[in-house]
Structure 1
Amino acid sequence: MKKKLQFILALAILLCLPNVNFAQAPNLGSAADFVLFSTNGAVTNSGISHLTGKVGTNNGSSTGFGNVNGGMHDGDGTSAQCAADLLIAYNQLAATTATNFPAAVLGNGQILTAGVYSIASAATLNLTLTLNAQGNANAVFIFKIQAPFSTNTNSKIKLINGALACNVFWKVEGLVSMASGTTMRGTVIANNAAINMNTGDTLEGRVLSTAGAVTTDGVLAYTPTGCGSPVLTGPTAPQLGATGCYAIFSSNGAVSNAGSTYVTGDIGSNNGSATGYNSAFITGTIHTIPDGSTAQCASDLLNVYSYLNVLTNDIELLYPAQFGNNLVLTPHTYLLNAATVFTDTVYLDALGNANAVFVIKINGALSTSTYSNVVLMNGAQSKNVFWKVEGAVNINNYSVFRGTLICNNGALGAVNTGVELDGRMLTTTGALSTTAMNAIATVIPGNCGSVGIQSLNSEDKKIIIYPNPFSASASIYLNDLSQLNNCVLTIYNVLGEAVISTTITKQLTVIETSSFPSGIYFYKIMTNSTTIQSGKLVAQQ
């Protein structure tokens, strides 16, 4: 009697539960990184397709693709591993037990819940098919189609109530053909057959063939997020130091402007003049001649450049001359290994991570079209975007540029009319020229006024000299009181002649400098005949 009651109770509980089918997702392994792949067959594109994820074949070639946000792998170790993992995933899907047997035409407003669905004949998707996870983000949908599968024009897979594309799988025993305008979601595996995607198709998932060609024509396809996929953060951002104070700067070259340019941030050169800027339009300091601030900026800029230069790239964009053209990039370190032409728009997608970092390394010059545009998406911030360019830079009229751009050994020769800069433009060696543009350096440090008096990390300074530039007087502040009566400060002019020498006997000493002609001076601090500190000073009378 007791066992009978237990059975009745268990049956009642099951009857009260919603109809749940326990489908289990296969393990894709390295195949999860690919958006387009064939184990044995050509992978071909025509038109302009935008792809996020790896593309390749283990036996054949991939042709017709522009820049792919993921990289190309034909007949290499990566493709071999993908082929092996794809076979495992296919076998796991094949071994699942079907619990639902829908008609051969899917869609037409149909709503399905999680489970394993089997269709014994050729199948078609028409209009809209909705997959309802019923609030369960782990709900898995598996479709086993024992013959070819096609979609009609503008047909769509819609996900609701927590359903995720990473938990949707299509195992097809035949040709997969998607008509124009299809929105497909999930991982599609065609066994021993080809896959065709047409103009205007969108894929949130993957198309993978065990043996057959994969063809795309002007599509948008990207690997899905979730289901344990790695969260993309990009590399660690460099520490800007004093370069964070500047919007426009050259370590070695003149900085000049024509027209009405508005800037938030400092402007200057450490070996040249800064001319043509109207101080009424500048929120910051115009360093018309080199000073302690520009010296510190030049030093810190070299550190930032060196850090970016040695970063290992995750993804190489193979067609630098085709950069832009509505390309979508995610948090990574990218390499363009030649002179780069930026046309139209590039989208930087942080995938919801406001701290995501983007680094774009260009081994050559950079030029842009008119109205080129860097668009930040899904939490991306200009303070986390860095461009390292090995050559001259030309930003064409009415472009919108975002991030910190560092030009190494090349002129930022033309930042043209109507350009909007959300970030910084800095060059290690070369002239920098702007024309009637707007620039805002994002996240400016709060102590920029003291740069040159002390570095942004100045705990090791024995003595601080301020203000710098100075005029009527300069104050000397001794950080290390143990050095009282031991430190001798000497200031030299550009000819190397000592213009003042004094022993520091108080923590704060004020020296008269009104007789110093305007110009650059150097100082050194000695203790027991040893130089413990030196630097550059500027007099502005």
Structure 2
Amino acid sequence: MNPFQTKPHALVLATILSALLAATGSANAGTASQVQAPVKLGSAGTFALLSKTGITDVYASVITGDVGASPITGAAIGLTCGEIAAGILYTVDAAGPLPCSVTAATLLTAAVSDMETAYTDAAGRVRPDFTELGSGEIGGRTLVPGLYKWGTDVKISTDVKLAGGPNDVWIFQVSGGIHQASATRVTLTGGALAKNVFWQSAGAVSIGTTAHFEGVVLSKTLVAVKTGASVNGRLLAQTAVTLEKNTVSQPAP
């Protein structure tokens, strides 16, 4: 066989294999092709919980960071004052939990607008480093910094690690929802910080019973945190946030 006839076929095969690996391969040993800037949260950046349609709660949760809902009435915030360990509970009217709620409709309008702007920013980042990684299943992986994109749901069925330094940024663009299984953990290693991890989700986000989650959630719809789960980050939802005896702590600055 003439080697000069087979060489182009080998090059074509290598190109196809490279493309397949880029689309579906593990991020365990990968590197990002570009450095991402953090998503700017603006005035939403002081909130541990921010919702447009209300916050429900099964007592008792522990929240560190500001809490607010707008444009829904303050009566739609189901937390009690004793569950706010640190931070301010803002409402659009005097119907919020007493005696701790602060009426601040203008502030909440700005925070919700900034939350929506942050969602658009995260969703609009281009040139992802990893596309359709694991067909949406990221459990068991160690993820390097970068921009990740899925056209499906994302599942965290087993523990996942984010490995990087204090200035590294992760942005996860999810066209579906995010579903973390019970008793699993998202952990940060190498000095990575939760404030630099952004989970943009067009669908509902669910964090399973006794699971632990890290990062800032920017959800177009519901964020549901199941019984006993903990979050080091922010839950910023364009519909509701539901809690069940949870600990939610805003990330270290």
Query: How high is the TM-score relative to the length of structure 2?
Result: 0.81
Report deviation, 1:67: 5.0
Which deviations, in whole Å up to 9, do the C-alpha atoms of 1:488-535 show, x marking residues without a partner? xxxxxxxxxxxxxxxxxxxxxxxxxxxxxxxxxxxxxxxxxxxxxxxx
CA contact (8 A) 1:233 1:331 kept: no
Deviation track 1:66-120 (CA, whole Å, cap 9, x = no partner) reads 95245xxxxxxxxxxxxxxxxxxxxxxxxxxxxxxxxxxxxxxxxxxxxxxxxxx
Does 2:213 align with 1:401?
yes
**Cross-structure match for 2:61:** 261
1:377 equivalent among 189, 194, 213: 189
Distance 1:254 1:65, change over 3 A: same
Aligned residue among 217, 235, 238 for 1:425: 235
Taking the aligned partners of 2:218 and 2:181, their CA distance within structure 1 comes to: 19
Q: CA deviation at 1:378?
A: 0.8
Specify which of 169, 184, 188 is matched with residue 357 of structure 1: 169
1:241 to 24, 28, 42: 42
Give the whole-Å Cα distance in 1 for the aligned partners of 2:173 and 2:167: 19
Q: 3-state SS of the aligned residue for 2:36?
A: coil
What SS is found at the alignment partner of 2:109? helix
Amino acid at match of 1:256: T
- Aligned partners of 1:323 and 1:355: how far apart in 2? 22
Shift in CA distance, 234/329, structure 1 to aligned 2, threshold 3 Å? farther
What are the within-5 Å matches in structure 2 for residues 94-113 of structure 1? none
Query: CA 1:222–1:432 in 2, change beyond 3 Å: closer, same or farther?
Result: closer
Question: 2:246 matched to which residue of 1?
Answer: 437
| Letter of the structure 2 residue corresponding to residue 259 of structure 1 | Y
- 8 A Cα contact 1:357 1:385, kept in partner: yes
Give per-residue Cα distances to partners, 1:4-30, cap 9 Å, x unaligned.
xxxxxxxxxxxxxxxxxxxxxxxxxxx
Aligned mate of 1:279, from 71, 75, 81: 81
CA distance in 2, matches of 1:64, 1:247: 38
Q: Is the 8 A contact 1:40 1:60 kept in 2?
A: no
Q: Which amino acid letter does the alignment assign opposite residue 222 of structure 1?
A: A
Conserved? CA contact 1:234–1:358, under 8 Å:
no
The structure-2 alpha-carbon separation of the partners of 1:435 and 1:367, relative to structure 1 and needing over 3 Å to count, comes to same
Shift of 1:319: 3.4
What is the CA-CA distance between 1:398 and the residue it aligns to? 0.8
1:292 to 95, 101, 106: 106
C-alpha distance in structure 2 between counterparts of 1:361 and 1:316, whole Å: 10
Q: 1:248 touches 1:268 (CA, 8 Å); kept in 2?
A: yes
Alignment of 1:100-499 (within 5 A): 222=29, 234-250=35-51, 252-272=52-72, 273=74, 274-282=76-84, 283-289=86-92, 291-312=105-126, 313-324=128-139, 326-350=140-164, 353-408=165-220, 410-412=221-223, 414-428=224-238, 430-443=239-252
Deviations 1:163-192 (CA, angstroms, capped at 9, x unpaired): xxxxxxxxxxxxxxxxxxxxxxxxxxxxxx
Between structures 1 and 2, the one with greater strand share? 1
> How far 1:372 moved relative to its partner?
2.1
CA distance in 2, matches of 1:405, 1:378: 21
* Cα shift readout 1:279-299 (whole Å, capped 9, x = no counterpart): 123111122445222111111
Task: Give the number of the structure whose alpha-carbon radius of gyration is greater.
Answer: 1
Aligned residue for 1:68? 25
CA distance in 2, matches of 1:360, 1:246: 20
| Change in 2 beyond 3 A, CA 1:66/1:369 | farther
Instruction: Give the direction of change, closer, same or farther, for the CA distance of 1:61–1:332 in structure 2 (3 Å limit).
Output: closer
Contact 2:91 2:108 in 1 (8 A): no
1:79 counterpart residue number: none
Query: Structure 1: how far apart are the matches of 2:54 and 2:241?
Result: 6
Q: Which secondary structure state, in structure 2, belongs to the residue aligned with residue 323 of structure 1?
A: coil
Higher relative contact order (CA closer than 8 Å, sequence separation 6+):
2
Percent identical? 23
Cα distance, 1:57–1:284 mapped onto 2, change above 3 Å: same
Q: Where do 5+ consecutive residues of structure 2 fail to align?
A: 1-8, 94-104
Counterpart Cα distance in 2 of 1:363 and 1:342: 16
Query: How far did 1:318 drift?
Result: 3.8
Post-superposition offset of 1:356: 0.4
Q: TM-score, normalised by structure 1?
A: 0.39
Partner secondary structure for residue 57 of structure 1: helix
Please state how far the C-alpha of 1:321 moved relative to its aligned partner: 4.2
Contact 2:211 2:228 in 1 (8 A): yes
> Could you list the per-position Cα deviations for residues 365-411 of structure 1 after superposition, in whole angstroms to 9, with x for gaps in the alignment?
11121012111011111011000000111111111111100101x11
After superposition, the Cα gap between the structure-2 partners of 1:63 and 1:434, relative to the gap in structure 1 and judged at 3 Å, is same
One-letter identity of the residue aligned with 1:261: S
Q: Which amino acid in 1 is paired with 2:88?
A: T
Aligned partner letter, 1:68: G
- Deviation of residue 60 (structure 1)? 6.2
Structure 1 residues 365 and 222 mapped into 2: Cα distance closer, same or farther (>3 Å)? closer
Q: 1:277 to 1:375 in 2, by over 3 A?
A: same
Q: Identify if the C-alpha distance between structure 1 residues 260 and 235 changes in structure 2 by more than 3 Å, giving closer, same or farther.
A: same
> Given that residues 40 and 59 in structure 1 are in contact (C-alpha distance below 8 angstroms), is that contact kept between their aligned partners in structure 2?
no
Helix, strand or coil at the partner of 2:123? helix
**Contact 2:178/2:203, CA 8 A, preserved across alignment:** yes
2:32 touches 2:146 (CA, 8 Å); kept in 1? Answer: no
Which 5+ residue runs of structure 1 have no aligned equivalent? 1-38, 42-55, 71-220, 224-229, 445-541
